[in-house]
Amino acid sequence: MPERRPRLEGKVAVVTGAGTSGEGVGNGKAAAVLFAREGAKVLLVDMAADRAEETRVMIEEEGGVASVFQADVTDGDECAAMAQAAVDRYGRLDILDNNVGISARGSVVDVTEEIWDRIMTVNVKTIYQASRACIPKMMETGGGAIVNISSIAGLRAHSQAPYTTSKAAVVGITISMAGDHGPDNIRVNCIAPGLVYTPMVAHRMNDEQREARKNAAPLRTEGDSWDVAYAALFLCSDEARWINGVVLPVDAGLLTVTPVTYNTISGQARF
Ligand SMILES: NC(=O)c1ccc[n+]([C@@H]2O[C@H](COP(=O)([O-])OP(=O)(O)OC[C@H]3O[C@@H](n4cnc5c(N)ncnc54)[C@H](O)[C@@H]3O)[C@@H](O)[C@H]2O)c1
């Protein structure tokens, strides 16, 4: 059997939200670790530097290469500095994982205008800002790959009007960028994680709710951040060289069994 080359050998990746909001491993941290394991040099971007620092330690303990860049990716100037830092530190920029995102519950009647604007800014504008800064750097070296983290909440009702709207917009910006930048050899794809158990949601979940989430999807197994990160690794690798503009659910098949409804607020599944 021929020896396998690391799948991202020679590449430089930027991961936004590369820390985790709590104990354990979130989607951004898992993606950064897998990218580094497969040979990429990774710029770990987070507005909370201490969170990204934990990811850096994890990567370096495994012998990988990574460094922290503190930035609020809602800000255009900070995103420009982030893209420049990747090039200054590692010589190029090939991969962008637009992972930053926050959730908000409630219907359009419940949600305040302030929360609405905040969710749109953090979940959608960050992708615009980070991509706007990184794409020209990718073009300088002949192309690249971007993965945007949406959610199945962007594809079906979830009692989270602003979150669903923002995550549907992530699908929209993916499609638009894929069309605009395919000719630059920049592929842009999107992952829609399902009811994965991550630190982002763990704090608001008891065992019963966790079990109901697990059993809502046909596979009846619990997903975690590594499931999302393996999908990101594939989409950002050259193995996906002919895949552009897709929305990949990573959800144990939950979307196939609609109209099962799962209320993320009450934690009750209805079949
Ligand atoms: N956990 C789930 O069940 C689930 C399901 C579907 C989709 N998602 C999506 O996964 C993504 C998040 O995954 P995670 O597990 O890494 O979340 P996380 O909350 O553990 O980590 C996100 C990190 O982003 C950072 N961050 C937040 N706003 C920022 C900003 N403006 N600038 C820079 N950094 C910022 C936080 O400090 C945090 O460290 C989100 O897009 C979320 O919507 C999660």
pLDDT at residue 265 is higher than 80: no
Contact between 49 and 23 under an 8 Å Cβ cutoff? The reply is: no
pLDDT at residue 236 is higher than 60: yes
Average pLDDT, stretch 76-96?
Answer: 99
Q: How confident is the model at residue 20 (pLDDT cuts 50, 70, 90)?
A: very high
Total structural domains within the chain: 1
In a domain, 186, yes or no: yes
pLDDT reported for residue 178:
98
Tell me the pLDDT tens digit for each residue of 39-83.
Answer: 999 999 999 999 999 999 999 999 999 999 999 999 999 999 999
pLDDT reported for residue 158:
82
2 alpha carbon – ligand 1 mean position (Å): 38
In a domain, 213, yes or no: no
pLDDT reported for residue 2:
79
In a domain, 133, yes or no: yes
Q: Which residues of 255-270 are buried (b: 16+ CB within 10 A; e: fewer)?
A: eeeeebebebeebebe
Q: Quick one: 37 exposed, middle or buried, by C-beta within 10 A (0-12, 13-18, 19+)?
A: middle
**CATH number where 86 lies:** 3.40.50.720
Tell me the pLDDT tens digit for each residue of 172-220.
Answer: 999 999 999 999 999 999 999 999 999 988 888 899 989 988 998 999 9
Strands 268-270 and 261-263: antiparallel
Q: Is the dihedral of CA 212, 197, 249, 265 positive or negative?
A: positive
pTM for the complete prediction?
A: 0.96
In a domain, 113, yes or no: yes
Q: Which residues contact 141 (CB under 8 A, 6 or more apart)?
A: 92, 93, 94
Residues with CB under 6 Å of ligand 1 are 16-17, 19-21, 26-28, 46-48, 51, 71-74, 99-101, 122, 126, 149, 151, 193, 196, 198-201, 225
pLDDT at residue 153 is higher than 60: yes
Q: Which domain holds residue 18?
A: 12-205+223-257
Q: How many Å apart are CA 69 and CA 48, to the nearest integer?
A: 10
pLDDT reported for residue 270:
44
Contact between 151 and 163 under an 8 Å Cβ cutoff? The reply is: yes
Atom nearest to 72 CA in ligand 1:
32
DSSP string, 152-167: GGGTS--SBHHHHHHH
Cα–Cα distances in angstroms (integers) from residue 153 to residues 50, 115, 139, 223, in the given order? 29, 17, 32, 16
Average pLDDT, stretch 222-247?
Answer: 98
Please tell me the chain's helix, strand, coil percentages from 3-state DSSP, rounded to the nearest 5: 45, 15, 35
pLDDT at residue 125 is higher than 90: yes
In a domain, 44, yes or no: yes
163 alpha carbon – ligand 1 mean position (Å): 12
Tell me the pLDDT tens digit for each residue of 132-151.
Answer: 999 999 999 999 999 999 99
Q: 3-state class of 248 per DSSP?
A: strand
